[in-house]
Structure 1
Amino acid sequence: MLGISTLCLHHEPLPVALDRIAELTGVIEVMDEGRHFLKSAEPLLSHSCTFSIHAPCRGTNLASLLEPIRRASVEVMAECFAVAAEVDAHVVVHPGYFAWPDERREAADQLVRSLGELLAAARNYGVAFSVENMGDWEYFFLKTPAELSLIGDCGFTLDVGHAHQNHCLAGFLERPAQHYHLHDNDSTADAHLAVGKGTIDFLPVMAAVQRSGVPPIIEVADFDDAVTSLRVLGKMS
């Protein structure tokens, strides 16, 4: 089954977004930011859907050299794990970034440290999480397959649009993933377009998804694009 992220309705209150998406699919990923920030699992408990949660990322940085910020970022993720545990949801996290090029090695060490702490927290709450590859954003980690070693024993979320923007989708498709984000672009911007509106060949993507047995998440910026993507990808499934 294909899932849909609440990103496409992020301008709406979360209960409204959940109701509208639930009319299309029983698999929903909550973009745990802004109007959809989850203070508790209560908004999700009234739905019988399968949930995943995209942990807060705009104000967090697991690779920060500023130790109070790194610790707080881990704490925010752990709070997300606590909510996820109530609805048996998979959690997606971002790998963070370094502020200056010459701080990359130290920031990578901080990321590894943070992920070790998150592995312990995930075991404590009985949830699974995976780390998402990033788009062509300066100073962010995990933009290419060569950096997958940074996440160690953590799961991996393949964001197809991000990989295409960095011209390395084929390389990422060769690696096993625990979670998938599907959206399109023309490789010049992280546009989160409907499938078919960009230049990604989704046939090999869907072949990898089907081999994994994991329900992928359509992560587009517009609700109509989510509906379009659901229809297009449904023909490939």
Structure 2
Amino acid sequence: MDQLTRDGWTSIEIMCEERHTELLEWSREQFAELKQIGSEKGITWSIHAPINGCNLAADAGSGRDMTIETMKRCLEIASFLDSTHVVMHAGEVNV
């Protein structure tokens, strides 16, 4: 984050994939700190929802339920940070 802001970036997409999935477990306080940094530095945020393990096109079942809960969490984070957008991938229909 420090490097990006030093280099003048003001639009930053937060990835919630692979080792970055820890973001989904951050506390409100951690996000409040991130939001404060963004406010101080004039940053606009966007969120990139996970692809691995998420399939919005899946039929009913535990996989779809988990996907929906993950997407809800991404949307909560995006809302809290006043994100400009959330990138979500539709997934695939398994026939």
Is the TM-score greater than 0.5?
A: yes
TM-score of the superposition, structure 2-length normalised? Answer: 0.74
Matched, 1:98 2:82: no
Structure 1 segments, 4+ long, off by >3 Å, are none
Q: How many residues align?
A: 83
**Relative contact order, CA 8 A, sep 6+: which one is greater?**
2
**Structure 2: which 5+ residue stretches go unaligned?**
none
Match of 1:32 in 2: 16
Matched, 1:44 2:34: yes
**Structure 1: which 5+ residue stretches go unaligned?**
1-17, 104-237
What is the Cα deviation at residue 65 of structure 1? Answer: 2.6
1:116-137 deviation per Cα after TM superposition (whole angstroms, max 9, x unaligned): xxxxxxxxxxxxxxxxxxxxxx
TM-score of the superposition, structure 1-length normalised? Answer: 0.32
1:191-233 deviation per Cα after TM superposition (whole angstroms, max 9, x unaligned): xxxxxxxxxxxxxxxxxxxxxxxxxxxxxxxxxxxxxxxxxxx
- Paired letter, 2:20: H
What is the Cα deviation at residue 35 of structure 1? Answer: 2.7
1:120-172 deviation per Cα after TM superposition (whole angstroms, max 9, x unaligned): xxxxxxxxxxxxxxxxxxxxxxxxxxxxxxxxxxxxxxxxxxxxxxxxxxxxx
Matched, 1:75 2:59: no
- Paired letter, 1:20: Q
Q: For the aligned residues, what is the CA RMSD?
A: 1.8
Q: Equivalent pairs: percent with the same residue?
A: 37
SS of residue paired to 1:47 = helix
